[in-house]
Homo-oligomer: A and B are copies of this chain.
């Protein structure tokens, strides 16, 4: 989509004078998420993000006004990505049984497949615990998850599954031993009414 609009690498900007760089905003957001995933929110200084994105420091506050605004944009992007993946999984399920399979796969494969996502998630929750603006992001995200689950499950089961997924992925990612598919499937099954 966005690639189709580009004629070539230097179509709009020269490398030395990148004025009117349309992708810069997105580039900065991605760099911010990378840096946060690496060194956490507290370690993600404007300078580190700028360096990682390959843009001048001044452009960060030009595009985002403040570090807080950048963090907000970054975590909105993160939540969007993860929620979309979740919804995609759920949309493939045609019945509760296949939905359960998708949930197991999701826990085993998607979530926290890497350190980056685990850290991003935790950092977002931590901000949400203290700062209303980030709470809004997690609220919207949780609502989407629950809505996706509600396509196949009754409200209580949807909420229970949501919580179980949260707990299993976190313990799986933080815990010492690997999550085991049979165990995950069993727990998901127990939450779902027969």
Chain A residues within CB distance 8 Å of chain B:
39-42, 115, 118-119, 122-123, 125-126, 128-130, 135, 138-139, 142, 156, 159-160, 162-168, 170-171, 173-176, 183, 186-187, 190-191, 193
Contacts and interface: CB of A to CB of B under 8 A. Distances in A.
Contacts of A193: 190
A135 B171 contact: no
B174 A167 contact: no
Given A139-B175, A159-B183, 19 more contacts: A40-B130, A41-B42, A122-B122, A125-B125, A125-B126, A129-B173, A142-B174, A142-B175, A159-B171, A160-B190, A162-B167, A163-B167, A163-B171, A164-B187, A166-B167, A167-B167, A190-B190, A190-B193, A191-B191
A5 B160 CA distance: 49
Nearest to A191: B190
A160 B138 contact: no
Given A159-B183, A163-B164, A174 B125 contact: yes
A187 B174 contact: no
Query: Top 7 A-B pairs ranked by shortest CB distance?
Result: A167-B167, A163-B167, A42-B42, A166-B167, A122-B126, A160-B187, A163-B168
